[in-house]
A and B are shown apart, each in its own frame.
Chain A
Amino acid sequence: MCASKMVQPNKVAAFFMLCFLSQSVSAYIDPGTGSLIFQLLLGSFVGLLFAVKMYWNRLKSFLKSKLMKGHGDETAKK
């Protein structure tokens, strides 16, 4: 069986749709069915990347503040 038959985009989309099922989308402009489905799929991917980026930035600033504090304490001791 070839790879393209194993991973069917429809089934992937349906899987994500089921995962996030809960609320209908209504708007005065037409969001577009294709756009909404695509956004739901893309959202889970970029959401993950954003979470990694956010926590990485938090970790960086935490470490930076710790280092600065340590450096500040040493300077104060001197």
Chain B
Amino acid sequence: MKQPRSDVAIPGSFRDPSGFIFRRDGVVYRQVNKAYQEHYDRLMACGLYKELVGEELIVSHTEVDVEPPDPRTAYKVIEPERVRFVSYPYEWCFSELKDAALALLKIQKKAVEYGMTLKDASAYNIQFHRGHHVLIDTLSFEVYGGGPWVAYRQFCQHFLSPLALMSFRDARLNQLSRVYLDGIPLDLASALLPYRSRLSLPILAHIHLHSKSQRKYAGSRARVEGKMSRMSLLGLLDNLESSVKNLSWKFRGVGWVGYYEETNYTEEAWGEKKRVVAEFIDDIRPSTVWDLGSNVGVFSRIASEKGAFTVSFDMDPGCVEQNYVECKKRGDANLLPLVLDLTNPSPGIGWCNRERMTVTQRGPADAVLALALIHHLAISNNLPFGKIADFLSETGEWLIVEYVPKSDSQVQRLLATREDVFSEYTKEDFEREFGKRFSIVKALELKQSGRIMYLMRNRGVI
């Protein structure tokens, strides 16, 4: 049967023979295939789905009477609750990845209790939703027949390898997940980890020895036949859980944490900046906000506390970690801190570069905050105002942006070690270039700082 013209298959879900996601008239659905019927029926009937929804460990869904895109293979069509923003493991800080790993293990333990198991352990299946890490792939479960956990290797690659590398080496190594779509290969993790990581028994076992075993049996055509007792499986999950819990990340005192303490704002100017941001947000009442270059999320919090779902991006994993820890402390379900380098933002990756979306494909936001950011992009990264305005015009309808004049001590600091080749870094140039993409609705100069806060509206339709 010919598919309705408005159906759009979501490129990230084509690998699983159990079903796939599609979008129709702006609504996201999931087709459950006949091949998955037995497992789906068990999931829904055995009480596991109900318990996972109750504990906010899985997105809820409703079965809908919608024509499936592929009726030959379809068993059912479900409409899952929509996640506000899809984020990827290489955008998570240490604690976000750790919490995601613990959520997945908790789900697997519950599945085993109900006679089911997770057939995959992809970190991409875990998303931040209503303040919790939840599984978004309803079709990840299968009836447990007593064998080993087929997703063990994937769990180690998607979660344990990056967590160990961040814990023992450097938080920036999580970016390897961006290169390796199916998680960081264990032989690579083993080679990069310091020798002292072998003193940790779980890391020795799940990464170093596991990697050796993979190498030993690489290319083997032997079909592994084996039964693993339920106790052994629970022991493995318990051991993985302790391994993850025991990993920690310590702030090493480099990066952008503490930036706000080093700024040249007087207390009055700082307070005024917060008041102006709050006023602009009240003017436009956005439902989604992206805070670009958010540092530890001081201004993101103004938006999230006003009810806007706010994604708080910063390139420094230390800032994102601090922001996330604060969110957890406050129980802020409206704020999602993520690691993102704006000069090299998350690209489209995977098959045909479409399995994982670019950051702009996951927008647009109703409003974008770009506070104390433009001078870093323009001066530290040699980006002309026009290029910055082009990028920002792809991210949201409204823009709250701060212009920092060249006379500002922060700009002077950036220029201290280099030649000033920025003759076009003036307020007039800024307004002219941004004016091509945005209309300036308001402009307020912050007292005692010379900085100007602008509220702008995108001229284009995005």
Which residues of A approach B to under 8 Å, CB–CB? 16-17, 20-40, 42-51, 53
Contact flags B221-238 to A (C-beta < 8 A → 1, else 0) = 011111111011111101
Residues of B within 8 A of A32 (CB): 153, 214, 217
Q: Is the CB of B226 within 8 A of A46?
A: no
Q: Is the CB of B17 within 8 A of A36?
A: no
The one of B119, B220, B226, B239 in contact with A27, judged by C-beta atoms closer than 8 angstroms, is: B119
Q: Is the CB of A37 within 8 A of B239?
A: no
Residues of B within 8 A of A29 (CB): 119-120, 150-151, 154
> Is there a chain A Cβ closer than 8 Å to B148's Cβ?
yes
The interface centre, meaning the residue of A34, A49, A51 with most chain B CB atoms within 10 A of its CB, is A34
The interface centre, meaning the residue of A20, A37, A38, A44 with most chain B CB atoms within 10 A of its CB, is A38
Q: Is the CB of A34 within 8 A of B217?
A: yes
Q: Is the CB of A35 within 8 A of B210?
A: yes
Output the least CB separation between B109 and chain A (Å).
11
Chain B residue, CB-CB nearest to A32: B153
Chain A residue, CB-CB nearest to B215: A34
Taking residues whose C-beta sits less than 8 angstroms from the other chain, chain B's interface range is 35 or more
With A25-B150, A28-B119 given, name 15 new contacts (CB 8 A). A17-B224, A21-B225, A23-B147, A25-B226, A27-B151, A29-B120, A31-B151, A31-B153, A34-B210, A34-B214, A36-B148, A46-B238, A47-B228, A51-B231, A51-B235
Chain A residue, CB-CB nearest to B231: A47
Q: Is the CB of A34 within 8 A of B234?
A: no
Q: Known interface pairs A27-B119, A50-B234. Does A37 touch B217 (Cβ–Cβ under 8 Å)?
A: yes
| Distance, CA A25 to CA B223, complexed state (A) | 8
Q: Is the CB of A34 within 8 A of B148?
A: no
Output the least CB separation between B348 and chain A (Å).
22
Q: Known interface pairs A38-B210, A46-B239. Does A20 touch B226 (Cβ–Cβ under 8 Å)?
A: yes
Q: Is the CB of A34 within 8 A of B119?
A: no
Classify the interface of chain A: helix, strand, loop or mixed: helix
| Distance, CA A48 to CA B145, complexed state (A) | 21
Q: Is the CB of A37 within 8 A of B224?
A: yes
Q: Known interface pairs A35-B153, A38-B209. Does A28 touch B226 (Cβ–Cβ under 8 Å)?
A: no
Q: Known interface pairs A35-B214, A47-B234. Does A42 touch B226 (Cβ–Cβ under 8 Å)?
A: no
Q: Is the CB of B214 within 8 A of A43?
A: no
Chain A residue, CB-CB nearest to B121: A29
Residues of A within 8 A of B222 (CB): 33
Residues of A within 8 A of B226 (CB): 16-17, 20-23, 25, 36, 40
Cβ contacts A to B, 25 pairs, < 8 Å = A21-B225, A21-B227, A23-B146, A24-B223, A25-B148, A25-B224, A25-B226, A28-B15, A29-B154, A30-B153, A31-B151, A33-B217, A33-B222, A35-B213, A37-B213, A37-B217, A38-B210, A39-B148, A40-B228, A43-B232, A43-B235, A47-B228, A47-B236, A50-B235, A51-B235
